[in-house]
Amino acid sequence: MPAAVAPADAGAVLHGIGVGRGGAVGPVVTVARPVAAPTDEQPPTDRAAAQESVLAAFGTVADGLLAQSAAATGAAAPVLKATAQMAQDKALRSQTLARIADGEPPVHALDAVIETFEHMFVSAGGYLAERVTDLRSVRDRVAAEILGVPAPGVPVLTEPSVVVALDLAPADTAALDVDQVLAIVTELGGATSHTAIIANQLGIPCVVRARGAADLVEGTTVAVDAAAGTVTLDPAPQVAEAFARRAQVQARLAEDTAPGALVDGTPVALLANVGKAADAERAAGAGGPDGPAVEGSGLFRTEVLFLDRSDAPTRAEQAEVYAQVLRAFGDRKVVVRTLDAGADKPLAFASTAEEENPALGVRGYRLRRTVPELFETQLAALADAQQETGAVPWVMAPMVSTATEAREFASAARGHGLTTVGVMVEVPAAALRAREILAEVDFVSLGTNDLAQYTMATDRLRGELADLIDPWQPAVLDLVAATATAGGEVGKPVGVCGESASDPAMAVVLAGLGITSLSMSPAAVPAVRYALAQHTTEQATAIAVAARAAPDAPAARAAALALLDPTVVEVLALR
């Protein structure tokens, strides 16, 4: 671990990954570390009684999380429910009880089982690797129950504070008093972790993977800049003033609800990523009476319906949710992504053979090879929702690699009466053969998170390799350009629904490459709309050319910033 950073280190800066664009200044409040297994913990004299006690501890933790889930709203509710289901997991419980039956002390037995599951999750990568924090949260709560001590977590806040932790469990994040939390900083975690997602939804500035954060001294004043991904100790007074000005600017930008476009009128549709009907209703209603803040949804993640279930949702269950989303957006565009699960997002009801490299395994559209009934039922449910609402969804399949797969998907979807069909471009093969793929479908959408992962051969969750997986990598931009060029030549839309769409500077580059729509978190739309509106098509194209000519990701971003309209850089604090 790095040495503790004390208040005397005024002006010292910790660097991490920012979530959101906000900033805040305040005193550090540290989160209590989890309770360790006692070094003198003895084997139970009454093994049956010890098993009952541990089983009761699991039950108490699960019930508490379910109660929190019932009281929560937005993204926090399903996250808490998923963590509760982990505490209810039969394998987790039975393996712990089996070790106790063999004479192991209860907390040591629990830790041994948790370690086994952690290794399994990390090896699987992707969605499961991101759930290691949830798993540790369950362990810490159950261990505290076994030992009869308070559960670790965020202390009661008596003043607005910056919450700092080695890592923060989603259950703790969901329970935060938003009126007292100025920002969140963690040394571990990732930008797509549950904690980061909840913080973003709550509008709390957040910096994750900030090395040295866990050693910050309680009470130290820090400035957390989510836009820059930095944590500054004992900042100058001007920093708080700059954050306040930035917040005022963001509020003003949010008042603009015009369709996305470059200054010369070239349209770039601004869309929202959603995962549930409630997300769709909030995004569709944003903007108020003066008009919608978004022009539809460019990514409806349907896998939220499937994950953490013991059986597949029925056709009727799916159709009801799909209809809710379509009704929320009315006559606006809704792009529905078919089930993106399997391998790194395993389904309890559709188990496949164990895979040594899940990121390259049976996931997304490839599930049709092993569980075709899931695929057909989902398309039928989408058709039902289309008939009920009168809205025409755009439907696309993830993890498509060839024109043959695109043709098969298009045929199946159109066979169910779905008329606007596309695929996601997430692997280099699809980008390189975009022209042939577009001959089979009506549109494509680039998932830049996975495209960067596969292009750079870098696991998205390996924080120490963040420089390689950066979407600013020129090789990734080259593949985006190849796809957009193919779309322009055949006159078909090419969108981006990965995280890069929410970066205002990158948005201008993407527009310059020929991307026709950008889908992102609704909160990111105002800044992106403003950045686009300050540049002509010619300027955006020149900025994109400069970024692609750079030798690496930092140089590509620097090249783009150097050519961006200076007011955009200043107003959006992009440097």
Query: Do 212 and 304 fall within a single domain?
Result: no
Range of the domain at 23: 13-32+153-249
* Domain harbouring 419, CATH code: 3.20.20.60
Which CATH number covers residue 204? 3.50.30.10
Residue entry with tokens 């975690």: 189
Contacts 24+ apart (CB under 8 A), 545-553: 545/512, 547/472, 547/474, 547/477, 547/509, 548/474, 548/477, 548/478, 548/481, 549/474, 550/474, 551/474, 552/467, 552/473, 552/474, 553/467, 553/470, 553/471, 553/472, 553/473, 553/474
* Residues 219 and 197 occupy one common structural domain: yes
Q: Which of 338, 400, 403 is nearest to 366 (CA)?
A: 400
Residues 236 and 270 in one domain: no
Tell me: do 67 and 28 sit in the same domain: no
Query: Are 335 and 453 part of one and the same domain?
Result: yes
- 404 domain-assigned: yes
Among 203, 227, 249, residue at a domain's last position? 249
Q: What is the total count of domains within the chain?
A: 3
Q: For the stretch 216-236, what's the b/e string if a residue is b when 16 or more beta carbons lie within 10 angstroms of its beta carbon?
A: beeebbbbbbbbbbbbbbebe
Coil, helix or strand at residue 339: coil
* Same-domain check for residues 143 and 28: no
Q: Has residue 109 been placed in a domain?
A: yes
pLDDT of 449: 85
φ/ψ of 420, rounded to 5, equals -110, 105
Please report the pLDDT score of residue 378 as a whole number.
97
Burial letters for 36-75: b for 16+ Cβ neighbours within 10 Å, e otherwise? ebeeebeebeebeebbebbeebbeebbebbbebbeebebb
Q: So what's the pLDDT on residue 352? A: 59
Question: Of 147, 166, 191, which marks where a domain is finished?
Answer: 147
Cα atoms found within 13 Å of the Cα of residue 382, Cβ hemisphere only:
29
pTM for this one? 0.76
Evaluate whether residue 164 is within a structural domain: yes
Query: What pLDDT was estimated at residue 157?
Result: 84
In terms of domains, do 66 and 20 share one?
A: no
Domain assignment of residue 41, yes or no: no
Q: Which DSSP helix (H) or strand (E) runs through 98?
A: helix 90-101
Kind of pairing between the strands at 23-30 and 17-19: unpaired
CB 27 within 8 A of CB 163: no
Residues with Cβ < 8 Å from 218, sequence gap 6 or more? 28, 29, 30
Q: Are residues 534 and 417 in the same domain?
A: yes
- Of the residues 100, 130, 147, which one is the last residue of a structural domain? 147
**Assigned domain for 559 exists:** yes
Give the catalytic positions in this structure.
Answer: 194, 497
pLDDT at residue 151, as a whole number? 76
Residues 24 and 82 in one domain: no
SS3 11: coil
Q: Position of tokens 């020149």?
A: 542
Q: Vertex 449, ends 447 and 452: CA angle to 5°?
A: 105
Contact 389, 396 (CB under 8 A): no
Bin 391: left if φ > 0, else alpha if -120 < ψ < 50, else beta.
beta
Query: Does residue 3 fall inside a structural domain?
Result: no
> What residue has token string 């391998």?
343
- Same domain as 123, residue 208: no
Q: What is the pLDDT of residue 382?
A: 98
Q: What is the pLDDT along the chain (575 residues), one digit of tens a residue?
A: 334 444 446 678 999 888 877 899 999 999 877 888 888 888 989 999 999 999 999 999 999 888 877 776 666 677 778 788 889 989 899 999 999 999 999 999 999 999 998 888 877 666 667 678 788 889 988 998 998 887 777 777 889 999 999 888 777 777 788 889 999 999 988 776 767 777 877 778 999 989 999 889 999 999 999 988 899 999 998 998 888 888 888 888 988 999 999 999 999 999 999 988 988 998 998 766 666 789 999 999 998 888 767 788 999 999 999 999 999 999 999 999 999 876 556 666 665 566 667 778 788 899 899 889 999 999 999 999 999 999 999 999 999 999 999 999 999 999 999 999 999 999 999 999 999 999 999 999 999 988 998 999 987 656 567 678 788 999 999 999 999 999 999 999 999 997 789 899 999 999 999 999 999 988 889 999 999 999 999 999 999 999 999 999 999 999 999 999 999 998 887 87
In the structure encoding, which two tokens stand for residue 194, read together?
């549950």
How many other CB atoms sit within 10 Å of the CB of residue 90? Answer: 7
Q: Token pair for residue 155?
A: 């202390």
Quote the DSSP letter at residue 405: H
**CATH value at residue 102:** 1.10.274.10
Give the single-character DSSP code of 190: -
Interacting residues of 458 by C-beta distance below 8 A, sequence separation 6+? 452, 465, 468, 469
Q: What is the rounded radius of gyration, in angstroms, for the C-alpha atoms of the chain?
A: 24
In this prediction, residue 8 carries a pLDDT of 47
In a domain, 7, yes or no: no
Q: Quick check: is 37 in a domain?
A: no
The burial of 297, by beta-carbon neighbours within 10 Å (0-12 exposed, 13-18 middle, 19 or more buried), is given as buried
Q: Are residues 471 and 502 in the same domain?
A: yes
Same structural domain for residues 314 and 417?
Answer: yes
